[in-house]
Amino acid sequence: MSIKSIPGGYEVDCRPQGRSGKRYRKKFKTKSEATHFERWLISTKNQKEWIHKTTEKRSLRMLIELWFKYYGQQLKCGDKDVKHLLKLDDDLGNPKAFEVTKALVSDYRANQLAKGRKATTINRNHSRLSSVFTVLIKAGEINCDHPLTGLLQLKEPSREMGFLSIDEIKILLAALDGDALKIAKLSLATGARWGEAANLKNAHLVAGKVIYVDTKNGRNRTVPIKPALFKEIATGKSGNVFKPCYKEFYQILKSLNFDLPKGQATHVLRHTFASHFIMNGGNILILQKILGHSSILQTMTYAHLAPDYLNDAMELNPLSTL
C-alpha cells in the first residue's frame, strides 16, 4: 500500500487483500484525497477472503437443539420456545439449515395466514427462528449468512384492549370471594399480571410495598399499595400468599358477560389498572415503571386515554376561527 507523488498529483497503489488480492490504482490532485481513498479501500475492501462462508449441512432441528443448549435453556420461556421451534421445523418440512431461505419462510407465512393464523403468532415464530441463527453465528457454532436478514415481519393490526368501568369493577368484586377476590384487588391496585399476583410470596410483601419477582421480562419491580389492602393480603406466614384459584376467577368473569375482546380474561385486570391510571391523569413514564414495560412504546398504547389527549384538535382546527 502506498501513495506516490506523480506529476500533477498523487497516485494510490493498493492491494487491501494482500499480494494475491485485487490491485487498486487511482490518481488524485491532492494528497488528502489520495489518503481518504486509501483509507476507504482498507476499510471496505479488506474482507478477509480466506474466511469463506460455508454451507451449513446440519439439519435445522440440530441447530434448534444447539440453540437451546447455548441460550434457550436460560430463558424463562425457553422450554415453551423450543417446542414452538420444533413444531416450526415440522411445518417447514424438516429442512437442512442451508435450505432455510427467505423464500421458504415466506411460503410458510403465506400458508399460515391462509389457515387463519394471526400475524402476531407467525411473527413470534419468525423471531424464534431468527434467534436460532443469530445466537449460533455469534457463538461461532455456524459460519454462514443469516437466512432471514432483510425479511421484514408481517404487519400486525392494533390490538383491542378492553378494560372495566368503575361499575363493572364493583360488580366483579362483589361476585368474587376468598383468594380470587384478593388477587383481583391486588392486580387492580398494581397492574400486576395474574401470574405475578397469584404466585406472590409473603416474603415479597415488605413495608407497604409489593415486590414482583420472576416477571415476564425477568426484571423485578416494586409497587406500593394502601395499608388496608396490605393488611388484607399479608398473612405473616412463609410461602405463597394465595392458593390457586384461576379457574374460579375465570368462570365468574365469563359468567358476568362483560363486553371484552376475544381471548381476554385475567389480563383485563392489568388493562383496567393502566387505563384508569391514565384517565385519572397519571404520568405515562410512571406507568411504564409500574407495569414493568421494557419499552415506552408498549405503554403508549394507553396514551389516548389521557384527559387532554389531542385536545388541541378542538382549538386549532380551521372551524375554530369562524
For position 224, which CATH number holds?
1.10.443.10
Please answer whether residues 197 and 274 qualify as being in contact, where contact means their C-beta atoms are separated by less than 8 angstroms. Answer: no
Answer yes or no: is 158 within a domain: no
Please say if the pLDDT value at position 46 is more than 70: no
- The torsion angles phi and psi of 107, rounded to 5 degrees, stand at -65, -45
> Which residues belong to the active site?
193, 216, 267, 270, 293, 302
The answer to whether residue 145 sits within a structural domain is: no
Whether 87 and 207 map to the same domain: the answer is no
Q: For the chain, what is the mean pLDDT?
A: 89
pLDDT for position 49: 47
Largest CA distance in the chain: 95
150, part of any domain: no
The whole-angstrom separation of Cα 201 and Cα 76 is: 19
Q: What pLDDT is recorded for position 47?
A: 52
Please give the span between the terminal C-alpha atoms of the chain, in angstroms, as a whole number. 73
For residues 269 and 191, membership in a common domain is answered with yes
Number of domains the chain contains = 3
pLDDT at 3: 87
Residues 264, 184 share a domain? yes
For residues 118 and 194, state if they share a domain.
Answer: no
pTM flag (> 0.95): no
Cell of 284: 405515562
Residue 281 has pLDDT above 80, yes or no: yes
**pLDDT confidence of 287, banded at 50, 70, 90?**
very high
The reply to whether 256 falls in a domain is yes
**What's residue 107's pLDDT?**
95
Please report the pLDDT score of residue 148 as a whole number.
94
The predicted model gives 283-288 an average pLDDT of 94
Which pLDDT does position 313 carry in this prediction?
Answer: 81
Q: How far is CA 163 from CA 44, 156, 204, 256, in A?
A: 54, 21, 27, 14
| Three-class DSSP category at 222 | strand
The pLDDT score that the predictor gives to residue 63 is: 96
| More confident of the two residues 260 and 95 | 95
Q: Does 179 map to a domain?
A: yes
Q: Residue 24 above 90 pLDDT?
A: no
304 phi/psi in degrees, rounded to 5: -65, -10
183 and 291 belong to one structural domain: yes
Q: Are residues 101 and 27 part of one domain?
A: no
> Within this chain, do residues 277 and 194 fall inside the same structural domain, yes or no?
yes
Considering the domain boundaries, does residue 319 fall inside one?
Answer: no
Parent domain of 244: 166-305
H or E stretch at 171: helix 166-175
Q: Is 54 inside a domain boundary?
A: no
In whole angstroms, how far apart are CA 236 and each of 190, 208, 209, 233, 244? 20, 13, 14, 9, 18
Least confident range from 50-64, 102-116, 120-134, 260-274: namely 50-64
* Domain co-membership, 296 together with 179: yes
Residue 161 covered by a domain: no
191 plus 252 within the same structural domain: yes
Specify whether 104 is located in the same domain as 131: yes
Looking at residue 16, what is its pLDDT?
Answer: 78
CA-to-CA separations, 121 to 73, 88, 125, 156, 224, in angstroms, rounded:
21, 12, 7, 10, 35
Let me know whether 173 and 279 are in one domain: yes
Residue 122 to residue 86: CA distance in whole angstroms: 14
